[in-house]
Amino acid sequence: MDAPELLNEMVELTLACKADDATDEQRARLEVLLADEPHAIPLYLRIVDDTLTLRAAAVKDASTDELECSCSIASDDADEFVGRRRVFLLSTLASLKSLPWAIAGCLLFLLAGASWWWTAGERVAAAAAADKSKAARVVSVSKVHWADGAKQFSDWSFVQPGDVMRFDAGLVNLFLSNGVEVLIEGPADVTFVSLQKVFARQGKLAARVGPGAVGFRIETPHAKVIDRGTAFGMSVDGKSRTAVIVYEGVVDLDVVGGPAQSRRTLEKGEGLSVNEKGELSRINSVQNADFLEPPQARAATTDPGHVIVSVSDNMRPLETTKYYRVIPRGFVEDCRAYVDRDHEWNGLDDRGLPPFLVGGDYVMTFNDDKIVTEFEMAVTLSQPAALYVLVDDRVAPPEWLKRDFVDTHWDVGSDESYPDRIIESGVGSGKSIDHVCSVWRRNVPEASTVVLGALSREESAVPAMIVERSMYGIVAVPLNRTAGGTSSQEVSHD
């Protein structure tokens, strides 16, 4: 991407995010640019500062009528406008002709400097940050209730090394100039130490770390989590426990005060908990309310209507560090199937997924379990439910499935994707389907725990990655969503 194209897109995306008008796609695109384009970060910081400084000048020079016409801010006088960081003059970047000359001049000023920024990235970064080069930015503050006596931060304010963020509730989004983005959910007590280190005494955190900041760490009273290029989530319960899960990439986990050999390396789909004694334990399952999603996702919210409470298995506690992820009401087209693969669930054709499954709670299992023969999984349900198991048609249905479940004669598709192979997933139903899974149902008349078995009793002499079958999926919906325990939509299948 050349300099003018990058600048145009960075201006549009950054201003949309500042105005809280950005779509999920725009936020995701901004993250991609910040991670992949070496000049995007200095441009981002410069645009943030210039859109405050230059717009103040624009307010001073532009007439009230012009501002009313183009930006609908007639109720704000100029002095109040300059002081309010969350009000922005540019409501659209579609055409310079629709803007007052002063604001258009600001954009032209930015464009005129594009080639200078492009050829002198380090010099731009220094000019943009000046004495704030070691600071972080608060991208957004959402429904935050600051603790008594705590320093308060607002959108787009700087966080200096040593600053402590203490709040009882809400969400704070930090952006570091080295390409790290951190979400913090209260109740939280977090100190910004430097661009390479954050100390968390309490709170839920999620971080996405770009390639320029590998080695970034979050420390807690119990552990040190060192990034190796990843996205990860953490939950810190004051003095009692630190829990870590990895969404992408790899992290190193060191136990505070532990011996050198206590370091554990966690990869995508793995997680561990450390208590105040330095003891490690496996995280069996992950609910959306337990951990924050990594940026660019929004803060997770507890869903009181969820059906699946928890998932566990008969693996020895530290034989594996992988966790099951429970997604309330999340079974939709292109939803990810496993914590350790990038495969997705899809409808077989343009009719989409079976309608009785859509919007159900589902479990992201881990695909490596497809070769474990002495395997049991316990699924705990909070209410009467129809429990569905999605079984790979390349495998003969196991005895426990035929005994306890009924074949609905509906199917779903599995769209496989691997980061290290030329196999990419498609988008939408019926796209890039690699194999078919049958949908089996069991009615569970009351809140209880259901035990599922192994996918197959067939021993495998080769690693799971090259075995051509997939672990089953799990979906649950409230039983009152169906008629007599069987969905009319199930019966209508031909």
Residue 261 is predicted with a pLDDT of 60
Boundary residue ending a domain (252, 271, 295): 295
Regarding whether 370 and 312 lie in a shared domain, the answer is yes
Q: What is the pLDDT of residues 100-111, one digit of tens each?
A: 434 444 444 444
Residue 432 is predicted with a pLDDT of 75
Regarding whether 487 and 363 lie in a shared domain, the answer is yes
Regarding whether 201 and 308 lie in a shared domain, the answer is no
Regarding whether 175 and 100 lie in a shared domain, the answer is no
Residue 227 identity (one-letter amino acid)? D
Residue 68 is predicted with a pLDDT of 33
- Give the CATH number for residue 278: 2.60.120.1440
Query: Global pTM?
Result: 0.58
Average pLDDT over all residues of the chain: 76
Residue 128 is predicted with a pLDDT of 44
CA distances from 147 to 152, 165, 180, 241 (A): 9, 9, 25, 22
Regarding whether 176 and 92 lie in a shared domain, the answer is no
Contact 363, 379 (CB under 8 A): yes
Regarding whether 338 and 279 lie in a shared domain, the answer is no
- Ranges of residues in the chain with a pLDDT under 50 are 51-131, 296-303, 483-484
Residue 489 is predicted with a pLDDT of 65
Residue 150 is predicted with a pLDDT of 94
Positive or negative, the Cα torsion across 180, 181, 185, 186?
positive
Q: Give me the domain span that covers residue 83.
A: 3-132
Regarding whether 343 and 328 lie in a shared domain, the answer is yes
Count the domains in the chain.
Answer: 3
Provide the terminal-to-terminal Cα distance of the chain, rounded to the nearest Å: 50
Buried (b) or exposed (e) across 360-397, using 16+ Cβ within 10 A? bbbbbbbbbbbbbeebebebbbbbbbbbbbbbbeebeb
Regarding whether 67 and 122 lie in a shared domain, the answer is yes
Regarding whether 144 and 122 lie in a shared domain, the answer is no
For residue 271, the cross-strand partners are 245
Boundary residue ending a domain (264, 295, 326): 295
- DSSP, res 107: H
Residue 429 is predicted with a pLDDT of 72
Residue 108 is predicted with a pLDDT of 43
Secondary structure of residue 389 in the 3-state scheme: strand
Q: Say how many C-beta atoms besides its own lie within 10 A of residue 436's C-beta.
A: 15
Boundary residue ending a domain (262, 295, 328): 295
Q: What is the pLDDT of residues 276-286, one digit of tens each?
A: 888 899 888 88
Regarding whether 17 and 94 lie in a shared domain, the answer is yes
Regarding whether 197 and 323 lie in a shared domain, the answer is no
Give Cβ neighbours of residue 37 (< 8 Å, ≥ 6 apart): 1, 6
Q: Which of 426, 427, 389, 431 is nearest to 411 (CA)?
A: 389
Regarding whether 421 and 280 lie in a shared domain, the answer is no
